[in-house]
Structure 1
Amino acid sequence: MNPHHTIAGIDEAGRGPLAGPVVAAAVILRAPIDGLDDSKKLTEKRRLALAREIRETALVGVGIAEPAEIDRINILQATMVAMRRAALHLGAVPAEFRIDGNRTPDAMPAPARFIIGGDALDPAISAASIIAKTTRDALMVRAAERFPRYGFEGHKGYAARTHLAAIAEHGPCPIHRMSFSPMRQPELV
């Protein structure tokens, strides 16, 4: 594989939840993979099967920004940090990074450009979308074991009715994003 001709896709999962990290993935595909798409358009079973195939055949880097970091620098900056970390954990420097969204992180190890809706348009970004989502989902299932009152295994930290009810009843736990509503409400902290 000639690194001068390689493309790495980058995408993230977990910008919107009230709890847990934001996870970014960078992927260089070394062979075509059938069925790649935006992770949100795939069933969980299909995502997991594709994630296994991607990890077996592609170069993969993952970057994570934890809730305390999100609270400290804000979700947009934490997402950019996670993307840069994913790029640095890739194990190779591509000719170009293609990033889902409308901006690119600073200080990337190679030229980067954004593609709006790229997770449905570019196979490498689709693969990154799948890795980011399945990695984050697995982290939230593990978090559910540590914090069983919140139901993280089901809603993965998003603002589901059951999650909001658990926050109201028990208050936030250590993986909640304290800068996000409803944790910002003074009666909860």
Structure 2
Amino acid sequence: KGALRGVTDGACVTIGTGIGVGLLLNGEVYRGAHGAAGEIGYWLIGALGPIARAEGYGPLETFAAGPGIARRFLARMRALGRPSMVLDLAGGREEAITARLVAEAAAQGDPLAMEVWRETAEMVGIALANLCSLIDPEVLVIGGGVARAPEPLFLEPVRQIIETLVPYPPRVVPSELGEEAGILGAVATVLDSRRDSISFVRAGVGG
């Protein structure tokens, strides 16, 4: 319905409260044996271990999803013991710090916010380069709240890393559907299941 229209092999990664990937392989949505394909939030990247079963969020998701960005920034700010523009944007309340505010401060040149976003883009870029090397997509769509950060902070460095590391880099584009993607996907899933049921009945398989 969006940026993957007409694409045979592609992927869509959503980075918001969590991280997940939808896989379009050979023209079909690939769901995996348990309907859990694309859970790259559980990937171990670099020194994100230890190698242990994740409880709740996976290692990559803990690091690079929206809540993880906010937690990392807050921990870094406390450790350094110096104020930041992010805290001002949050009205002086640490509990109000979000990834969006960290991005806003980074876009305005706050050094600590810029450092946190640089690390985030680098980690996501490496993860998505691994994904692209594995499935060889034609197009990689990036969406979700984190991906709405200014392009120089996120999409551009992620694209550059993928183009550097992947043998046959895909086109890396932002999501066209935004917040409507989940709703349209849910509707499409219901419609597809109904069409399958009708086909079974007509074939004499169903009641």
- Superposition TM-score, scaled by structure 1 size: 0.35
Give the number of the structure whose alpha-carbon radius of gyration is greater.
2
RCO higher in structure (CA 8 A, sep ≥6): 1
